[in-house]
Structure 1
Amino acid sequence: MEMNAKVFIDGEVGTTGLQIRDRLLGRNDISLISLPADRRKDASARADAFAAADVAILCLPDDAAREAAAICEALPTRLIDASTAHRVNPNWVFGFPELGAGQRAAIAGAKRVSNPGCYSTCAIALLRPLTDAGLVGTDADLSIFGISGYTGGGKAMIAEFEKGETNGSFVYATTQHHKHMPEVMHYGNLAHAPIFVPAVGHYAQGMIVQIPLHTSRAVEIQAALTAHYAGSQFVTVRPLGQAQARENPQALNNSNMLELSVLGDAASGRVVLSAVLDNLGKGASGAAVQNLNIMLGLEEGAGL
């Protein structure tokens, strides 16, 4: 265990960076390295902060994250990247500890960890146990629907909603080039990109992702998910048949939890896999803190 580890959040004033900082403030096993506002983009100051840190967390756009990783290449500093830049890079460990056997140990020993996206955390959590078990074919043609709070869109979208410039929910990424699909395919063990229909809801945070399947094997699917996540601290599987009149994407807000459900009507061959999390929690900053704890040999739920 590294006592009082030094952590630098590069991009700490962004949505994810602020949430990570809030989760780390006040902990006696973490010391935060922070730059004054006028030096946050100063290359020399950032390089010094990287060099002083045991772990740096990158909360940056993709290109800036790649540049930061290059700066750290010759340093012993370990990295967690919250951007999309390195999620399918074989030199980086994917930061979803619940992915499968050995993933948590791989994160614990990694120098480079890529934090998953929010939509992909939900989709992969549902799909990976089922493709591993042969209950969903790796060559299946799938559709995925999801809706997220507007905080998932970053500062510009948050301002747009909070200033009243956007009056309602909307669907986006209709060209089927959403940035999370490569990791969903890679870690969900899919040969074909799913059709993905994401939407932004007129609320701040919370997410639900659903995958419809033509299958009557709901009991087997439920068993596979339950077995895969048995003993998990942060992933729960609801008992079969607990569909509610309204599934609530905000049910797990302000937590690091992820809840999975098998819904629909298996008798008619129509099943809906469902995942709910806080897009700012297990979908972003909470996951980063969970990975940080694992990398430092600390209690996995510390600060969460």
Structure 2
Amino acid sequence: MTTRIFIDGAAGTTGLEIRDRLAGRGEFEMIVLDDDSRKDEAARREALHAADIAILCLPDDAAKEAVKLAAGSNTRIIDASSAHRVAEGWTYGFPELIGHDKIAGAQFVSNPGCYPTGFLALVAPLVRAEFIEPDWPYSVNAVSGYSGGGNALIDRFESDRSIAFRAYGLGLDHKHLPEMQKYAGLGLAPVFSPAVVPAHRGMIVDVPISLDAILDDKFDEPALPILLGALQKQYADSPIVTVSSGSRDISELLLRQNAEPWDGMELFVFEGDYQARLIARLDNLGKGASGAAIQNLNIMCGLPETTGLRL
């Protein structure tokens, strides 16, 4: 028996990537609206009610409206927007941290944001293990490919090749902050410094830590193997998240302008004198968006979680 899937917002960047990953998969029957119907409310409501699982690739307000349109149905929903990431009744779709079983049985799953995926993968396990403090004002320095900003930012970067770096979120109120704070178990929201570089895809999330300031006397030995060990234990069974054990031998981390789609994530710990940098490298359109949606879809359907992923 096939599972009926409707992608609401299939013409956007995330929706197109999800369609690519689902192409040729016999487990699913796609419900597709033509160009004249995809913005028609009645047609969308009918599609949402007919689907077994709907994937929302919409702006926040439109995603909330789609959930209202689906009301009264048994349709399960994966929301790729930020509309429901800290909302009551929604399961946060980060299986490596939240648990596969919770996602498998959920009706409403909210995909993590791309930057929070890297930040939480690094910080949440270390806070839980009490290796780093939950009430410290962490900072996050991160860069993403311009595809993370949707079609408008893609057009801007591709029409103006003089842009070399775009810092934003300068009001210190980025919409990713609530989920970063909640799911890392932090008492304070981190200071978040996002930026965009002239590459279509790819992302590096960097969390610097002053070890002597926040670890007190917890370590009588080098912190690197302890922090690495905690992350390796967290992701030991993951086929998607890997933890580098060779951080001492790495002198640089790169994003490539011609990078291919990728649904994995690499974690690194670099240690100096009383300092460390926790770094995640991922594809903002992969594990940061479409790949995560497919992973959650697989789990919700009882399929191997890596089916259709690009790893």
| 2:157 counterpart of 1:151 | no
Kindly provide the CA deviation profile for residues 6-59 of structure 1, in whole angstroms up to 9, marking residues without a partner as x.
Answer: 100000000000000111011111111110001111111001101110000000
| 2:263 counterpart of 1:256 | yes
Structure 1 counterpart of 2:9, one-letter code: G
Q: Distance in 2 between matches of 1:271 and 1:167?
A: 31
Aligned to 1:89: 87
Aligned to 1:244: 250
Segments of 5+ residues of structure 2 without an aligned counterpart are: 212-221
Q: Distance in 2 between matches of 1:74 and 1:260?
A: 42
Structure 2 counterpart of 1:256, one-letter code: D
Q: Distance in 2 between matches of 1:130 and 1:107?
A: 22
TM-fit CA distance, 1:166 = 5.2
Q: 1:204 aligns with which of 200, 204, 214?
A: 200
Segments of 5+ residues of structure 1 without an aligned counterpart are: none
Aligned to 1:284: 289
Aligned to 1:22: 20
Conserved 8 A contact 2:202-2:284: yes
Shift in alpha-carbon separation, 1:253–1:183, aligned structure 2, 3 A: farther
Conserved 8 A contact 2:223-2:271: no
Kindly provide the CA deviation profile for residues 41-82 of structure 1, in whole angstroms up to 9, marking residues without a partner as x.
Answer: 111100110111000000011111111111212100000000
Kindly provide the CA deviation profile for residues 187-223 of structure 1, in whole angstroms up to 9, marking residues without a partner as x.
Answer: 0111101111111001110000010011152221111
Kindly provide the CA deviation profile for residues 68-98 of structure 1, in whole angstroms up to 9, marking residues without a partner as x.
Answer: 1112121000000000000001300000000
Instruction: Report matched runs for 1:1-304 at 5 Å.
Output: 3-100=1-98, 103-164=99-160, 167-215=163-211, 217-250=223-256, 253-265=260-272, 268-304=273-309
Conserved 8 A contact 1:14-1:59: yes
Q: Distance in 2 between matches of 1:45 and 1:243?
A: 55
TM-fit CA distance, 1:298 = 1.2
Q: Distance in 2 between matches of 1:280 and 1:247?
A: 19
Q: Distance in 1 between matches of 2:239 and 2:187?
A: 30
SS of equivalent to 2:86: coil
Q: Distance in 1 between matches of 2:65 and 2:279?
A: 36
TM-fit CA distance, 1:167 = 2.1
TM-fit CA distance, 1:264 = 3.2
Conserved 8 A contact 2:267-2:278: yes
Conserved 8 A contact 1:240-1:262: no
SS of equivalent to 1:37: coil
Conserved 8 A contact 1:222-1:240: no
4+ long deviations beyond 6 Å: none
TM-fit CA distance, 1:244 = 2.3
Conserved 8 A contact 2:103-2:299: yes
Q: Distance in 2 between matches of 1:144 and 1:249?
A: 18
TM-fit CA distance, 1:226 = 0.6
> Identity across aligned pairs (percent)?
47
Structure 1 counterpart of 2:133, one-letter code: G
Q: Distance in 2 between matches of 1:133 and 1:165?
A: 45
Q: Distance in 1 between matches of 2:2 and 2:162?
A: 44
Structure 1 counterpart of 2:123, one-letter code: L
Q: Distance in 2 between matches of 1:242 and 1:5?
A: 46
Query: 163-172 or 37-46, which moves further after superposition?
Result: 163-172
